[in-house]
Structure 1
Amino acid sequence: MTAPTAAEIGALRNRLALAADREGILDVAYTTVDTPVGPLLLAATERGLVRVAFEREGHDQVLQQLAAKVSPRIVRAPQRLDAAARQITEYFAGSRTKFDLGLDFALSGGFREQVQRHLTQIGYGHTESYRDVARIVGNPRAVRAVGTACATNPLPVVVPCHRVLRADGGLGGYIGGLAAKTSLLALESATVAG
């Protein structure tokens, strides 16, 4: 008996993912996409994209967190993420300036979710300060909490926390690292909104 080829194993995985989805036992589908800022893990529930993770976060660790917080029924099922993968690729190619995807904010809540939902309103090529965001979401004293909401954003790139800067124009932090934040801002040729 010969060992199965990589193509045969891939085809089997694909059949299993399709069967799990058809049977309604696929709660979280995931795939990875190569980008100029490194491979991104994309994960989605039936409601929408639930997680985007940079390689530096440890994709296996992110999957373990999803299993604990969302559902242990996680399968690599790229077909559920075709639209997300295509839109991410278009974004990095410079042909997409706004994502049109269902989003699942199950990993956020309260003020963090409020901030993260606002981030989707910051236009491509524009930035806001942490202070601006705090004011816009109705809590002008919550500048540090805005920073925490950005730092814990489960959907970076798609929910553009990279567009939030310090009041002095400094980068602040970023879950994907400052090099990734700089690359994303350069891609968008961001200008400070005034």
Structure 2
Amino acid sequence: MVKIGSGAKRALKDVILSRYAFRSTYNPCPVSTNKTISRLDPTVKSWISFGERFYGEERMDTVDAKTRSRMMSGIRNKNTKPELTLRRYLHAKGFRYRLHVKTLPGQPDLVLPKYNLCIFVHGCFWHQHSRCPYATIPKSNTEFWLKKFAININRDEKTIALLLDRGWRVFTIWECGLRKADEVILGWLPKTIKGQERILTWPEY
């Protein structure tokens, strides 16, 4: 059984329910096979059942299994394009940071010691950005992906909690927000970094 904490449960609930388009008539969700549900936390099972009863078609991936496999093999977990975009922007604004500090939980993508801040740049697919159009669920091997997403969400939650307990501030910047980032889109960030906000996620849908 997939064990997840309360915060991760809330996030996974959003993941599941945000994948449905509203329908007035019952239409079973193809992802919710009995085999899949049996391995999930009982609370999550009830959410899937709720989604099946009151929602309809799941938003599935738009590419086939072969294409998805090729895309997955080419994805980096460090120095990604969104991460580089954020790094260039912050550096141009005069911020200095350390990268992927191994002594900190989760090895944050950017660490700004002067502001006691850790920043994670998360991919919307891998970390299942709530309600984001890029946070799709692959058509093939769906059971595997649901389990993986639950594990990722749980790990992210634990990492943030550990950093907060150590007195760090934690920002999560999502890939989708950096796709067309410019001075205007990121204009809010410098002031926020210098502020007192302890935890932040951007953008939110």
Q: Same fold (TM over 0.5)?
A: no
- Higher relative contact order, chain-length normalized (CA < 8 Å, sep 6+): 2
TM-score range, shorter chain: under 0.3
> TM-score under structure 2 normalisation?
0.26
